[in-house]
Amino acid sequence: MRLLAVLLAVFIVLLQWPLWIGKGSWLKVWQIEAQMVEQQGQNDRLTARNAALDAEVRDLKTGTDAIEERARNELGMVRQDEVFFQILDPSPVKPSPTPAPLAPPATQPAAENPAAAPQ
């Protein structure tokens, strides 16, 4: 009787193996669902970016306001008879870090180096 119970348990495990671990198993389904959710998020971000680019292209094709805005912001252009004022930020400028001093150059005697000779 004990042998029959062990054989039935082994048979049940062998039947369940493909369902949980084999090809087309629940594990694979969960992994594919996670990939699908990630891909849908990426698709949503790209759809929003494409919509923004499409709106910008339409605006550039139909009106001059977008072209003027780009010319002002990216190229610094101003209209004729317009005065440009630039307001500087009053924050102090940070000095750049100085590199470590190098070893002094080798000096040659004055007789050998005519450029170093006093005149």
Q: Where do the domains of the chain lie?
A: 24-75
Which of 36-45, 46-55, 78-87, 105-114 is predicted least confidently? 105-114
Which tens digits make up the pLDDT trace of 39-79? 999 999 999 999 999 998 888 888 788 888 888 888 888 88
How far apart are alpha carbons 28 and 104 in whole angstroms?
67
Query: Using an 8 Å Cβ cutoff, are 81 and 87 in contact?
Result: no
Query: Using an 8 Å Cβ cutoff, are 99 and 93 in contact?
Result: no
- State whether residue 92 is helix, strand or coil: coil
How far apart are alpha carbons 26 and 82 in whole angstroms?
69
- Give 69 or 117, the one with higher predicted confidence: 69
